[in-house]
Amino acid sequence: MTEVKFDGWISIFETGIDYEAEMVRDRLVDSGISAVLMTKKDRAFGLSVGSMSRIYVLVTPREEHEARALIQDYSFSADELTEAALAANPDEVDGPPTGSGQE
């Protein structure tokens, strides 16, 4: 993986999913590591894949190794991901399908 730097901060995680980046950042901050998000999402087109939709979790160079070790050893449960997705924008979550699908 190519090291990505922004104004002296180092990217240790990247994704196209807002709440996933927020969960990683929050996990780092809760562990005492300075972490920020930098989004490269093009909101005009609503893209969620590709180079126009990247969100980077950035840390200081002195905390890079500790941060990488922390996120490598941590995985999110399905319940945590579902809770974060619903909290991100519950109005946009479709409910389960109703009816038989036949008109």
Question: 5-88: what CATH class?
Answer: alpha beta
pTM tops 0.75, yes or no: no
pLDDT band of 3, cuts 50, 70, 90: low
Tokens of 69: 């070790």
Whether 28 and 62 have beta carbons less than 8 Å apart is answered as no
pLDDT band of 86, cuts 50, 70, 90: confident
Give the span between the Cα atoms of 10 and 61, in whole angstroms: 6
Which pLDDT does position 51 carry in this prediction?
54
Whether 53 and 16 have beta carbons less than 8 Å apart is answered as yes
| Dihedral of the alpha carbons of 50, 27, 23, 68, in degrees to the nearest 10 | 10
Whether 11 and 3 have beta carbons less than 8 Å apart is answered as yes
Give the span between the Cα atoms of 103 and 13, in whole angstroms: 45
Which pLDDT does position 96 carry in this prediction?
46
pLDDT in tens, 21-80: 888 999 999 999 999 998 876 666 655 555 567 889 999 999 999 999 998 876 767 777
Residue 28 or 97, more confident: 28
Those residues with Cβ within 8 angstroms of residue 83's Cβ, 6 or more apart along the chain or in another chain: none
Helix axes 64-72, 18-30, angle to 10 degrees: 120
